[in-house]
Each structure stands twice: as C-alpha cells, then as structure tokens.
A and B are shown apart, each in its own frame.
Chain A
Amino acid sequence: MRINLGVGGLAIVAMLVHIIIDVTARHLFNIAVQGTLEIVSFYYMVGLVYLAIPLVQARDDHIFVELFTVNTSPKRQDVMDAVIRVFSAALLLLFAWVTVQEALHQTSIGAVVEAGTDTVPVWPTRWLIPLSMVSTAILCLWQSAYLFRHAGERRESQGEEHTYG
C-alpha cells in the first residue's frame, strides 16, 4: 500500500506540474508541449485512479449503503460484510483475469496513440488495471477472513477507526 500511495502521489504531483508547465510554456513562449493531453490521460489519470482503488479498499472506505441494515446486529453485519467481500474478491479477480489478457494483447502489439505529430506508447498502463484489481481482491479476502474470525467484536469499541489485523 505504501507503494500505491507513493506512486499515486507522484502521479498527482506530476499531473499538476505537467499541466502548469504546458500552460506556462504556451503563454510565455508560445510553445505547445507535445503529448501533454495523452500523458495526462493515459498515464497520470490511469495511474492515479487504479492505484487509489486498492488504497480506498485498505481503509475500507468504498461507499456502501448502511441505511437498511442499521438495526441488524453487529455480528450479523460483520458476517454479511465478510460474505460480500468474498463475492467482491471473486468479481475483482475476474476483472483482473480479463484485463491481464487485454494487457498482454496491448503489450504484444506495443500499443501507441497519436500525440501531436508523434506517438506515445500506452501499453504499459494497461497493466495497472489487473494490478489494481488483484491487490483490491487480496485486501477483500484478508478483510473477509478477519471479519469472519472477529464478527461482532470491533463495534464494541465504537468510534475507533478499525484496522484489520
């Protein structure tokens, strides 16, 4: 998760710096920095979004609706959440498996996109999706195991931000 935080953070800073340099170069020197649009889109955006998804999962912050289960006992809630995480992990692993195939395909053709008068390779960031989905799935399974084992326990210490082992 440290790596995700680090690389994702770098993508944010790089995006900011890159766009600001592009804007400055345009106004001060009448130069268009080639490839800004493509690099922001295919590198920074893809990088930061797909690195952030497992981060959010690690903090257990992906949004769900608690409204209909407020009166369910903590233990039952935890069991539900544990089952849901197994289901989520299965879906995410399917997602990963599918996108690995696409990433392999994109890598084998060395996919590029047009950028100004040149091209930018975009195959590398295809790998970020399976990477993201696998790590999110692992987190889900880890959290699920914890929830099964400790069902109903963590809500006794209310207000404390829960961690999973």
Chain B
Amino acid sequence: ETYNYATFAPPASSNNTLALEPAFAKIAEESGGSIEFKLFAGGQLLGGREMLGGLRDGIADAGFVAPSYFISELPNAAMLSDMMPFGGDPVAVAGAMLETMFFDCPSCMADYTDNNLVYLGGQVPTPYRMLCSSELDGSADSLKGLRMRSGGTAMSRTAEALGGIAVSMPAGDMYEAMERGQLDCIVGPTAWLKQYSLAEVVKTVIEEPLGVLAGLGLVTFNRQSWHDLGEEGQQMVLRQMPFIVAQSTVTGFIGDDERAKETAIADHGVNFVQGEESMKAALQAANDAARDIILAEAAERGVEDAQAIMDAYVANLEKWRAISEEQIKGDAAVLEQVLWDEIYSKVDL
C-alpha cells in the first residue's frame, strides 16, 4: 500500500531530507515494502492553507499541518502557536508541546479528530529572531519605529511591543521588500538567511530569542488512512516519530541555523549582536502582557479552558527545560530516546 504525504516545505528542506525521507525508508524496509510513503513537497499536492481540508478529505493520506493557518478549525491546538513567546529552547518546546498535546489537552486532540485527522506531532523550529537591514546595537531604542514582517499574530504582537510596526507580507515578497526598504526587519529563524537568500539584504541579526513556534503537525494523518495502516503499521509509524521530531528539530533546524549563521558571517559580513538589557526587559514585559491576550483570544475562539491549557504547557515547558539542559544537551539521539520513553511509548491514539 502506498500512502501520499503532502508538505508545503520545499523539497530540499531539512525536515524532508533529514527526517521524513529516512523515516519513510525505514518504514518501507521494516514492513517489507507493504507500507510505502510518497512525499509531495513544496505544495505540489497541497499548499499550507489547503492542507487541513485536503487531508480531511483524503487528497493526501498524511501531511504537514501548521495550526496557525487554521485557528478556527483547531481553536484549542492553535493555542500552542499563540504561546510562541514563552519558549526559547526548541528541544524543551518539542517535549513540552508533545506532552501537552497528547496527555494534557484532550480538546487539542479533539480538534484534530473533529476534522477527521490524527495528530502525531512534529518538529519545533528554532527561535525567531530579529533580522534587520540596518546596523543595530540590540537596544530597545534601536528597534523603535522599524517596519517588521512577523508572519503570525504572536510575533506581530511581539514586534509591536518592541516599538516596531507589524507589516503583513507573504514570505515570497520579503527579500525584495528588504532590498528596497519597504521592510526594516524580518522576524524569523536564522536559517532564513540562507533559505530566502536574506543574508544578501540583512546587516544585523539580534540573537535574543523572540519565541519558539510550537504545535506544528508535521505528521498528521487522515483518519481513514491511519486506520488502513493497521495496528502494526501504526506502531511502525509511531516508532519513527521520535526520530522525525529529533532529527528535524536538532539536526535540521538547529543545524540549519548554525550553517546559515556561519555563511552569513563569512560571505556576507552579517553582524550577529546580543540583545541588550533594555530589549530583554521590553520583551519580558511584552510576554507578561501576552498571557492575558492569548487567553482572551482563545476564549473568543471558543476554547473552553484556555487557562488549563496554558498552565499545562507552562508547567511542561519548565519540566522539559530541565530535561533539555541536564539530559539531552543538544544531542539528537538522546532526544529521540527521551521522546520515546516519555511520550511516544505511552501514546494511545
């Protein structure tokens, strides 16, 4: 049986090449070829906004759902994306988000069920940072009045809290907008310096993490397709999930960031500066203020116990910060093992 997997990430992106493709190959081997996956990348089969409907109706069997596109369909699960500013360490966020989704937020899982989907988890991208076209010193003042493309409500609020002007713009327009001065900064992971050629137009990267995006459903199944896999097939897929999450998060995103930083400095002379105390203070104030906004907006979307979801996520984040620092220490293999022991071995879908 062949299962179609759809993603809007470009074919060469690391979550495809480092995580999904090897995992699919392993599943094919273990199942003796009875379970094969075909990967449709770059929106070839379904684009980001088409993903939820497309998977729901079985155009693809599995795919990459980004909940922030579907805040009305996934009101509870989208809270994890809203809580972006709370996280700084992708590894900790990965553990905390999976634990929250699978064990502490039945309404989040029900969101997926209601849409005929099964959520299996996914990668956590690296922190969004401030990538700017001018020389900046990392102080709070230097950011005032700058036009920032932030992509998404959470980071737009952060941009405004830092005194910037939040600009909506498709990712494809970012490069030229920076080049011609319509934008001063882009809020995004360092890896974008390479992926969108931004190193050519960026002068300063302020390294202070602004937030880590949680809740992505890199592997989300159509419910019928999930049943078609059978008990054994489902176990094979679940067995690969820790590998997929660990590889795409650590080797993929964190590795991409490091490589992009290296070439940006060497080839384009991009400055990497630390955020000054004034910026950190402004950010802290913004994040404190964000809590009430997130709760209010979730309530408006019809989330019944937003506070409980937030509390669970914050507590899990605390727990996983310790696990990340003491146990995992940036090692993908260790993360994989911990994710299996703590989460995927206990998941019952």
Contact = CB atoms under 8 A, between A and B. Distances in A.
The answer to whether A and B interact is: yes
Interface of A: 26, 30-32, 34-38, 102, 106, 109-119
Contact of B166 (A30, A110, A112, A117): A117
A151 B153 CA distance: 58
Nearest to B75: A109
B170 A37 contact: yes
Interface of B: 53, 68-69, 71-73, 145, 147, 152-153, 156-157, 160, 165-170, 182, 297, 301
The CB with the most chain A CB atoms within 10 A, among B53, B168, B297, is that of: B168
A37 B73 contact: no
Nearest to B297: A119
A125 to B, nearest CB: 14
Contact of A110 (B53, B72, B297): B72
Given A37-B169, A38-B168, A114-B153, A32 B147 contact: yes
B166 A116 contact: yes
Given A114-B153, A117-B153, A32 B165 contact: yes
15 contacts: A31-B165, A32-B168, A109-B72, A109-B73, A110-B72, A112-B71, A112-B301, A114-B68, A114-B153, A116-B153, A116-B166, A116-B168, A118-B153, A119-B71, A119-B297
- Overall SS of chain A's interface: mixed
A56 to B, nearest CB: 25
B69 A113 contact: yes
Contacts of A34: 166, 168
- Overall SS of chain B's interface: mixed
Contact of B167 (A32, A38, A118): A32
Contact of A117 (B147, B157, B170, B301): B157
The CB with the most chain B CB atoms within 10 A, among A31, A35, A116, is that of: A116
Query: Sorted from nearest, which 5 A-B pairs have the closest CB atoms?
Result: A37-B168, A111-B72, A117-B156, A114-B153, A109-B72
B133 to A, nearest CB: 16
B213 to A, nearest CB: 13
A30 B153 contact: no
Contacts of A118: 153
A113 B147 CA distance: 22
A117 B219 CA distance: 28
A38 B166 CA distance: 14
A116 B182 CA distance: 16
Given A116-B168, A117-B157, A117-B160, A30 B145 contact: yes
A102 B57 CA distance: 11
A114 B71 contact: yes
Contacts of A32: 147, 165-168
A67 B185 CA distance: 54
Contacts of A113: 69, 71
Nearest to B300: A119
Contacts of B69: 113
B152 A114 contact: yes
Contacts of A116: 153, 156, 166, 168
Contacts of A106: 72
A110 B147 CA distance: 31
Nearest to B74: A109
The CB with the most chain A CB atoms within 10 A, among B69, B145, B167, is that of: B167
Given A37-B168, A102-B53, A113-B71, 15 more contacts: A32-B147, A32-B168, A34-B166, A34-B168, A106-B72, A111-B73, A112-B71, A112-B72, A112-B301, A114-B152, A114-B153, A115-B168, A116-B153, A116-B156, A117-B156
Contacts of A109: 72-73
A59 B147 CA distance: 46
A38 to B, nearest CB: 7
